Structure formats: C-alpha cells, structure tokens
Structure 1
Amino acid sequence: MSVPARLTLDHTKLLAARYRAASERPYLATALYALSVVASDRVPTMGVDRHWRCYVSPDFVERTPVAELAGVWVHEVAHLLRDHHGRAARLPAADQRDAHRVNVAQDCEINDDLISDGLALPEGRMEPGLFGLPSGQLFETYLPALPPGPPRHNCGSGAHGRPEPWELPGSEGPSPLGATEAEALRRRTAESMRAHQRTRGSLPAGWRRWAEEILEPTVDWRQALAGAVREAAAWASGAVDYTYRRPSRRGAALRGVVLPTLRRPLPRVAVVVDTSGSMGDDELAAALGEVTGVLREVGIRGNRVAVLACDADVHAVSRVTSADQVALGGGGGTDMRVGIARALAAPERPGIVVVLTDGHTPWPDESPSCRLVAALIGPDAPQPPSWIETVRVPS
C-alpha cells in the first residue's frame, strides 16, 4: 500500500490571503507581516506561539478559500495582539490546565468582532451565540460559562499559553519576537487603529476597546486605592512625639537626667462605609477588603481600625481586624458628612478617614485635620471637592 505524498505548503495562496487581510484592514498590516510562517503537518489548521511564529498546515491551506484564509490570519494575529497567552497565565491553575476550553473562550472573544466586521471564517468557528452567550465580552467572562467537552480548537501557545508538540523551541526557526518587541508592536497597531478611526470612522467595538486600553491604560483601582491608603498611613504616622517609656540612649551622658526618645505612632483609621440603597454589596465588599488588607500590611490593625456603616445616619460602629467581621446596616438616604463627623468625634481621633461611597452625597465644607481618602464606587460617581483624595472603583 502506497503512502500518500505530503503536501507542499502553497506559499503563494497563503501569502495572497495575508495580503488581502492587510489590504482590507490596513491597521493590522504591521502585525500581520510581523508573523513568520512555519509549515507543519502536525498543526490542525493554523496556530501561533508566543514568539509570533505562525504554524500552518499545508492541507488546511489547500482546502480553504483565500477569503477564509484571510479571516484566519486576522484571527491568529488577534490572539497575539490581545496578549491572550499572558492573560491566560493569570487564570486560576485549574483553568490553565484546561487549555483547549480556554482557547474556545478566546475564540469567542475574537470571532464576534471578526464576524460583525464582515470577515469570512471557516466552518466550525467558535462564537458566543453557539453557547447562548452575549457578544462583546472578554474571554475571562466567557470561560466560566462554557460547558466542558472534548478539544475543539487549538490555536497554539500564543493563545492558551501551553506549548504544543508542533511548536519550535524558543531559539529555533524564524527569528522570534521578544516581549519588548511584541509590546511595541501592540502599541503601534493601536495607534494605527486610532488613526483609521479618525479618517474612516469604522472600527469593530472589540478592537476599539482594545486600542483605547493600550493607548490609555486604566490604572487598576486596587493598586490606586492601596497606594492612597499607604501614602495616607505614612503621612499620618510621620508625626513624632516624645515618650519616656523608652529613655533616650543619649541620657547615659547626663548623670541623673532621664531624656525621652522620639516615637513614631501608628495612626488610627476610620472607614466610613456608604450603605445607602444605591450601593452594591459586591463592590462594597471588594473595596472594604482592599482597605483592610492594606492596613494590615502597614501594621495598622485591631483596635486601631473602626468601621462605621452609614447612610443618612450612622447605624453601626465596629472595630475589626478583617473585612468579613463587618456587619453592614442602613439602606436609606446618603450623607457621608454624618459618618465623617462621627469618626472625628471619637475619643481617639483617627489620623486617616477612608470613605467608601457611590459619591451621591454631600461632603464637608472644609478639609478636616486628618487625611481623607474617598473610594468612589461606580462609573457615574460625582467628583468630590478637590481637597479629598479620590480613587475610582468601577462596578
């Protein structure tokens, strides 16, 4: 029995498809031409590794029309531009092990944009509608909703992050792109998209969102809130005082004289939580957890932290060591001035007041004699007075 001859990759057809993709979507041209081609009989269709090498099955090229090959080119480069392998590495370990399910979720994130943009794709493509899911989401949102099943698609480690047997080692084959080069390529592509949108006015929603995030990255609210609380704690604890509990070492030079030493006290912190009806429990819990976690890191805990649940009145004052000890009450109107005033009226006045609110509240007329940080929860939170340190927490 004769063994069928292996197909030779039809480079002309493959490169004609890439030329078509780059011509019709010029904002992707630089990224498309950055991909180097590796022919492989082991790859099912086309796939990419994290080094921007595109592995191509000669049989797949033979049986697929140029228009659909152009769509696959765009699909594969989208995995790399959207840093799917980097994002997959941040998933929980159990999800990372299910690489092909991750790949399906990533395909759903990409293909709804490509289909709405009029790109032709081969049969069997994955899209959110097949699973009863809405369009326009990130793959991390799709993943938990996908049912388990046999492997369906494999776009390589440039997508799901796990090396495949048909991929070359990092230093072999065509010159690999490094992480710095890849990041520069993403930024250049995002700039091309912005220019395309200005001149032609049309860009798929997913690409528009991606380009905005690359060119104007959103600061993680957790980092911003943690930084504000740490800075406030450092400012408040910077105040020094003298104490005789630990005499100064310089006193040894003065017989019969006891000198005090300087101390740097830990500040007391009040967290005023808006529990009015407009606030969501999930956002409150997340923001409160971040605040108490940061306070623990800087050594402020126990009876130095008071949490006040407040809407139009103060409902509860509790001293906590972790966020899960807080009982949130209230649910009526909103006036954070009441909570701030109550915190500052405590016998042991706080050096820091952190307010967690949706911002729809009156504020004090002037800055109190302490550090005041407002964590504004939700996209429509009004801006407080300029003297209040502000961190925005998206819903």
Structure 2
Amino acid sequence: MTTDAPESMGTLDRDKLFAARLQAARARPYLATALFALHTVESKRVPTMAVDRHWRCYVSPAFVDRTPVEELAGVWVHEASHLLRDHHGRGDRVARERGLTGVGDRLRMNIAADCEINDDVYGDGLVRPEGAVEPGRLRLGEGRLMEEYLKDISLGPLTLDLSWLDCGSGADGLEREWDLGADGEDGLSEQERDAVRFRVAEGIKAHPGRAPRGWRRWAEEAFHPPQPWRDLLGAALRSAVSGAGSGDDYTYGRPSRRSAGVPGAVLPSLRRRPPRVCVIIDTSGSVSDGELGSALLEVAALSRAVGGRRDLVTVLSCDAAAGMVRPLCRAEGIPLTGGGGTDLRAGFDRALRSRPRPDVVVALTDGQTPWPSAQPSCRTVIGLFPRPGVSRARRENNPEYVPTAPPAWARVVEIGSGSGPVM
C-alpha cells in the first residue's frame, strides 16, 4: 500500500481517480456510501482496477493515466457492485456446490458476475467503460444472476479476448497474490461491510425510481433476505416429531416399573416408537405445476427427518376434496389429482382419520384455504408457497374470497426462491 506522493511517471494520479469517484457518486447517489467506503491501494500488478472482499480497491497507475475520467467513474461503480452483491461469497458457494477448482472456473465466475452487473448499470450519466462485458456480447439474455450466467458461459471463441479480465478476489472469491488479506491495513470488518450494504439498500428503497431494476431487486433482498426454507422445513418437522407425545405409546411387552407399587396389577410402560407423518399437498388450481414439483421433492426429503423410514410417511392430495392416503414409495410415483378450489379442512379430516394415525401433519399449500377451526390432536407444520399480497384473493374462483392467515397453532415455513443465491 502506498501513501500520497507527488505526481510523477508511474505514480497513481489520485486527483484524477478521486474526481472519477466523485462523478460516480453524483451519477449514482444511492451508491455513494459504498464508493467512499472503498480504500484505494496502488498496485502495478492489477491490469485495471480490482477489489478484495475486505473492501480494498487495487488500482493500476497506468490504467488511470490512459482512461478518461468519465469511464473511470463507471469502473468505480462496477467494482463497488461486486462487493455489494457479495460476488466473492457467492463465488465460494458455487465453487463448493459445483466442484469448480481451477483458475479458468474463476475467470468464468468473474465474467458471469460482470454480466450480472453490466446489463443495466450504465447510461443515465454513467459512461460504459471500454471493454466492459455485457450479456449480449456472449449471446446471452439480460436480467439474470451470476449463478445463472455461469451455467451458459464456457471458455471459447466468445471469451478468448477476456483472458485479461481480473476484478480481484472480491469478484469471485479466489485470493490473489497482491491481496493484503484479512490482517492487512484499512480493510473493513464484517460488521462494517454489512453496515455499508444496509445503508446502500436503504438509499435505494427510499428512492427506488432512481435505481435500475437489478439494484431494486438487490435492495429488496437485502432488507428481506430469503429464508433457507428447505433447512427450516426440515428443522420444523424434526422439532415436531421429537416433541413430547409424538410417537409415544403404551405397551404391556415391558411392564411399568410402577407395577411394583400396585400388587396384583400389571401396568403398561410408555415407549417411544418412530413417529408417523402425513403430508397434505394442495393440488388446487391456484398452485402451479412448478410448485407441485417442488412439493414432491420436499415429500421425499421429509422422510429423512424420520430416519429415512419412508414407510412412516403417507401422502394425500387435496383441493376442495381429499384424495386417498397413500404410502410414500418414491416422489415420482405419487399421483396428484385436483385442480379445483381449495379446502384443506377435508385434507386434515382425512389425514386424522387414517390408520395408523399420524403423529405429525405437514401441509404444503399456497395458503388460499380455510383452516380447521380447532387445533388438530397432533403437531402441524405448514409449508407455505408465497403469494404477492395484492393478487392472492384474485387467484381463487370467488373474486371476493380473502384467505385467512395460517393458524397460530401451526409451525409455518415460507417456501420460495430463498433456496437460491443472495445477491
């Protein structure tokens, strides 16, 4: 890291660089907090400008010399965008999930991250820098996330002239030789980084009309991060099946120790048996095919919460009427019938009358249903497909119908896009 020095050949022109940052802040005022949170580090080892995950911005003096201020302003916004959208953290997660270990894979991530940023960041007072990678250049559509672009990007003719691209570890998670690391000077702590993101998201939410669609989407996620609903649903079920009364039964096979205190009588003992789960799948017309497919996947996964015993899981489909209670063999073999209105009360009634009786009922639904008036005599978990509040009532056949909120006696988990990346 260098300190301010008189301008000379090969020395970073900080006046020009900071003038460009000021211009970037004027063009994108909602990003000003992030732009001024970046600490500048002069480096002749970076091709242009690059960032690390600790909010240091490494700058090539030669790049600043040959680049107009208007384009430098766009580069400032671009590099800050990598950090705000957590491309380093998301790159690490994608690398683990998809087994991406090579330098070429990280280059693909960098290109994909650039596509996510550059599809709507320029214009309206911000000049597109020379060589900026946009989705159209790779024959890809706009408005997608880095993880989605990555699936369609391979190193070949379309990316041959992008081998120089390097926005630093802040863009893909892979540390560079020039990185100062966690123990280096002037890096932001995790709490400080989160505070910067929150301030930027707050500014975008306050004046959404100024921000492009991608930034509005990011700010919404920053304020309302998606739930890891698969983990939550599994945790809710495990909590339900392990609760007092779930799977408890009496047996005379092992007499109670209290029998010794009652001469001439044999008292049964309380034993713990594996709990039984019945899954009600909402198959009404307001539930999409995609949601039904997701429900089937969750049914198969729920068996893990009861020790992988699929024989302990039963399934029934329900719209306004309940279908047959069927044992779980495999997810793709479950028949889902319905397509009419919604009344899950019929499903709860059928589930509770089935034999053997379930210890836990799981309902996977969009919530557009009346609920049982009384708490069922077993634990209940509701997996709720999200619906925009404005349109929920209009999706039913009756335009005046307003669905009631899930009952307080049920454990509710929001099911939705939360399984995906945080921008």
Same fold per superposition (TM over 0.5): yes
Say if 1:252 and 1:365 are closer, same or farther in 2 by CA, change over 3 A: closer
CA RMSD of aligned residues (A): 3.1
CA distance in 2, matches of 1:66, 1:33: 17
How much has 1:216 moved relative to structure 2?
Answer: 2.6
Higher mean displacement: 223-232 or 344-353: 223-232
Does structure 2 conserve the Cα–Cα contact (< 8 Å) formed by 1:285 and 1:323? no
1:218 to 226, 241, 245: 226
Determine helix, strand or coil for the equivalent of 1:347.
Answer: coil
Of residues 114-123 and 83-92 in structure 1, the stretch that sits farther from structure 2 once superposed is: 114-123
Report the CA distance between 1:290 and its aligned residue: 3.0
Q: Which has the higher contact order (CA 8 A, sep 6+)?
A: 2
1:119 to 121, 126, 137: 126
State the match for 1:303 in structure 2.
Answer: 311
Residue 343, structure 1, aligned to residue 351, structure 2: yes
The runs of 5 or more residues in structure 1 that have no matched partner are none
**Aligned 8 A contact 1:356 1:375 in 2:** yes
**Aligned pairs (5 A) from 1:1-395:** 7-91=10-94, 92-95=97-100, 97=102, 98-149=105-156, 150=160, 151-152=162-163, 153-172=165-184, 174-195=185-206, 197=207, 201-235=209-243, 237-238=245-246, 240-248=248-256, 260-276=268-284, 278-299=286-307, 301-311=309-319, 313=321, 317-320=325-328, 323-324=331-332, 326-335=333-342, 336-361=344-369, 363-364=371-372, 366-380=374-388, 383-387=403-407, 389=410, 390-394=412-416
The code of the aligned residue for 1:93 comes to R
Contact 1:271 1:306 in 2 (8 A): yes
8 Å Cα contact 1:308-1:316 kept in structure 2? yes
* C-alpha distance after superposition, 1:23-74 (max 9, x if no partner): 3333322322222222222211111111211111111111111011011011
> Would the alpha carbon gap of residues 249 and 366 (structure 1) be closer, same or farther in structure 2, given more than 3 Å must change?
closer
Measured against aligned partners, the alpha-carbon deviations of 1:89-139 in whole angstroms (never above 9, x if no partner) come to 111334464111111111111112312544112122112232343333221
Give 1:299 shift. 3.3
Deviations 1:195-245 (A, max 9, x none): 4x18xx422222222222222323233233234323332346457444333
Amino acid at match of 1:274: D
Task: State the 1:179 CA deviation.
Answer: 2.2
1:278 CA displacement:
5.0
CA contact (8 A) 1:53 1:176 kept: yes
Question: Aligned with 1:76: secondary structure?
Answer: helix
Would the aligned equivalents of 1:95 and 1:102 in 2 still touch at CA under 8 Å?
no
User: Which stretch shifts more, 146-155 or 74-83?
Assistant: 146-155
Distance 1:273 1:71, change over 3 A: same
> Can you give the 5+ residue segments of structure 2 that lack an aligned partner in the other structure?
1-7, 394-402, 418-423
1:67·1:120 contact (CA, 8 Å) conserved in 2? yes
Residues 186 and 61 (structure 1), Cα distance of their counterparts in 2 relative to 1, 3 Å cut: same
CA contact (8 A) 1:226 1:291 kept: no
Classify 1:15/1:317 alpha carbon distance in 2 versus 1 (closer, same or farther; 3 Å).
Answer: same
CA distance, structure 1, for counterparts of residue 75 and residue 128 of structure 2: 7
Question: In structure 1, what is the Cα distance between the partners aligned to 2:363 and 2:377?
Answer: 15
Structure 1: distance between partners of 2:196 and 2:369: 45
- Give the share of equivalent positions with the same residue, in percent: 51
Paired with 2:260 and 2:375, the residues of 1 have a C-alpha distance of 44
Is residue 12–residue 64 contact of structure 2 (8 Å, CA) maintained in 1? yes
The verdict on how the C-alpha distance between 1:238 and 1:127 changes in structure 2, with shifts beyond 3 A counting, is same
Q: Separation in 1 of the partners of 2:318 and 2:282? A: 5
Query: Hey, what's the Cα distance between the residues in 1 that align with 2:241 and 2:23?
Result: 58
Counterpart code for 2:215: W
Q: Deviations over 1:335-387 (max 9, x none)?
A: 44443333222122222222223445555454433333332335355644542
Letter aligned with residue 387 of structure 1: P
